[in-house]
Amino acid sequence: MTTAERAGLLERAGQLAEFGFTGAAEQTLLRAFYTYALPEGGAYDLIAELHAGRRADADVSRWRAAKAHLLARP
């Protein structure tokens, strides 16, 4: 994934979240795992970054915890 692709993906997901489609925004970023062959947990990092940009700290924590659980490491 190039820097431009990453920025575009986060922008599209941010627009979805801004219009109230947070679940769709998260699903868009989760699908990026397959589209861009992201490393393990990479999609979770994108989602946490999306929520950090929205200042949704509870969602950032939830996705970081989900990543830690998925990868079985803190």
How does pLDDT run across 21-64, given as a tens digit for each residue?
A: 999 999 999 999 889 988 888 999 999 999 999 999 999 999 99
Whole-model pTM: value is 0.87
Compute, in degrees rounded to 10, the torsion defined by CA atoms 33, 35, 38, 44: -30
Report the C-alpha gap between 28 and 58 in whole angstroms.
20
What was the pLDDT predicted at 74? 58
Contact criterion met (CB below 8 Å) for 32 and 20: no
Inter-axis angle of helices 57-71 and 42-53, nearest 10: 170
